[in-house]
Amino acid sequence: MGNPTGFLKVDRALPDDRDPKDRLVDWQEVHEHMPEEGLRKQASRCMDCGVPFCQSGNSQYAPKIAGCPVNNLIPEWNDLIYRGQWKDAIDRLHRTNNFPEFTGRVCPAPCEGACVLGINAPPVTIKLHEYAIAEHAFEEGWVNAEPPAKRSGKTVAVIGSGPAGLAAAAQLNKAGHAVTVYERADRIGGLLMYGIPNMKLEKHIVDRRVKLLAEEGVTFITNTEIGKDIPAKQLQDEFDAVVIATGATKPRDLPVAGRELKGVHFAMEFLSKNTKSLLDSKLEDGQYINAKGKNVVVIGGGDTGTDCVATSLRHGCEHVLQLEIMPRPTDQRAPGNPWPEWPKTLLVDYGQMEAIAVQGDDPRHYQVMTKKIVGDESGQVKEVHTVQIQWVSDENGRMSPQELVGTEKVYPADLVLLAMGFLGPEELIIEQLGIECDERSNAKAAYDEFATSVDGIFACGDARRGQSLIVWAIDEGRRAAREVDRYLVGESFLP
């Protein structure tokens, strides 16, 4: 703890974002950078608590109780930043997190929700420090390929190249196993590549890490969908172990009249096609869903809804609004939401900030239920019909929406994007392998064991736990790799 009074004397500060109107003309990341002097001051706010809740993410209590799922050694590398020992900081960070350059950009920072300083003051800027450590290390040339000294002779197939699959592949490769990662898209990265827009995570950052993994010996195969292009059973026969890390890619649908109209799309279709066209041709090929000049209605909140808002604005939409069925979060922690729980407070994210800059107000409308979608004579969407709701509790304490008579509204809509979350993994691979599922249709496998009902088949990430955070995916990929390693050779020294 280099500065024992830092948390008393230094106020929380973050680098400015680029001006919203300026950044809407490009697809570059929205954040500016903080000079090293400012970073060291912010790091000095860390109190080096006797019990650092920030690094104590626990699967049993997630997501209610906050904390870092990969158990980053946060007080240690905060102190190292303060002392200017950046190389030691990246070494500490890589001990627990394979991809800090990803989480430092797109993780919602549950660590900050559990920061002890956050009990009565703004928490330490932990996410900023993680990002800064990672990028400083790459700039200095400290992050290089480190192939294993020897090979085990064992082979592992990883299905899916999102954060869970990449983390599992990285760890298993370190253990000396020959790892092959299969990805159905044309680029490696899964959610990192096609699920997160470029302005949150520029894709050369993903490619940079994938290149390192390839140099370390991981084999990547793209444009190959397991279950269709290659039977899942074939992998089971050809490899010593298989890891299912396909994510929870089955979107939640909206069962209302008019769902079939032209111009109604799942959010992930909208986002992924946009990123692919951007990477392939800078959007010149027209192979994406264009919001230019359109009234856009995004149904659903969360990060995906925000990404749809921001992408629509960059296309040059006429207007965008976001309908959320849940109540507006409070500005401060509510009495029933104490530290160290995840703070359920209002967040004005980058997409909403951009909408406010362009349209003059927050695009989100709360406690709104979509009743139907109406189209014109050609089958093109033209309106979204809604009603205001309130949440009421039944005799068993279960909350349900109740419509408020007289609050019906009609919104013009040329493009409707469904961003209501995901139900679980697609069934094809699970069915072909005969894997038992849990009650939510995820591959059934206990946390910290990750073995499915089929010998030699493991599952991790969203395919096992359901829709979750990138940092939980990395945690599960790492832990699953340890169990696969133990299955293959009888013991494991992986962390």
Report the percentage of the chain scoring pLDDT > 90.
Answer: 93
In this predicted structure, the answer to whether residue 56 has a pLDDT above a threshold of 90 is no
Instruction: Tell me the helix, strand and coil percentages in the chain, rounded to 5.
Output: 35, 20, 45
Q: Please name which of 227, 229, 219 lies closest in space to residue 244, comparing C-alpha atoms.
A: 227
Q: Please name which of 429, 472, 404, 463 lies closest in space to residue 59, comparing C-alpha atoms.
A: 472
CB 7 within 8 A of CB 47: yes
Rounded Cα distance between 99 and 120, Å, is 31
Do the domains 253-420 and 155-249+423-489 match in fold?
A: yes
Residues whose CB is less than 8 angstroms from the CB of residue 117 and which lie 6 or more positions away in sequence, other chains included: 7, 45, 46, 47, 123, 124
CB 206 within 8 A of CB 189: yes
Rounded Cα distance between 309 and 286, Å, is 19
CATH architecture of 6-140: Orthogonal Bundle (1.10)
pTM of the model: 0.95
Rounded Cα distance between 198 and 279, Å, is 9
Helices (H), 282-368: 302-315, 350-359
Mean pLDDT, to the nearest integer, of 234-258? Answer: 97
In this predicted structure, the answer to whether residue 62 has a pLDDT above a threshold of 90 is no
122 in helix, strand or coil?
A: coil
- Residue 405, beta-bridge partner list: none
In this predicted structure, the answer to whether residue 422 has a pLDDT above a threshold of 80 is yes
What's the pLDDT tens digit per position in 151-161? 999 999 999 99
Return the amino acid letter for 482: R
What's the pLDDT tens digit per position in 183-241? 999 999 999 999 999 999 999 999 999 999 999 999 999 999 999 999 999 999 999 99
In this predicted structure, the answer to whether residue 85 has a pLDDT above a threshold of 80 is yes
160 is written with which tokens?
């899916």
CATH fold for the domain made of 253-420: FAD/NAD(P)-binding domain (3.50.50)
CATH fold for the domain made of 155-249+423-489: FAD/NAD(P)-binding domain (3.50.50)
Packing angle, helices 163-174 and 470-489, rounded to 10: 30
Question: pLDDT at position 48, please?
Answer: 79
In this predicted structure, the answer to whether residue 291 has a pLDDT above a threshold of 90 is yes
**The Cα angle at residue 470 between residues 296 and 421, in degrees rounded to 5:** 40
- Only one residue has tokens 């003051």, namely 121
In this structure, the strands spanning 241-244 and 457-459 are parallel
Question: pLDDT at position 318, please?
Answer: 98
Domain boundaries, the chain: 6-140, 155-249+423-489, 253-420
Rounded Cα distance between 442 and 291, Å, is 34
20 is written with which tokens?
């919203």
Rounded Cα distance between 345 and 327, Å, is 11
Q: For the chain, give the mean pLDDT.
A: 96
Round to the nearest angstrom and report the end-to-end CA distance of the chain: 26
What's the pLDDT tens digit per position in 336-365? 999 988 899 999 999 999 999 999 999 999
Question: pLDDT at position 1, please?
Answer: 60
CB 376 within 8 A of CB 412: no
- Residue 283 DSSP symbol: T
In this predicted structure, the answer to whether residue 264 has a pLDDT above a threshold of 90 is yes
Phi, psi of 304 (to 5 degrees): -65, -40
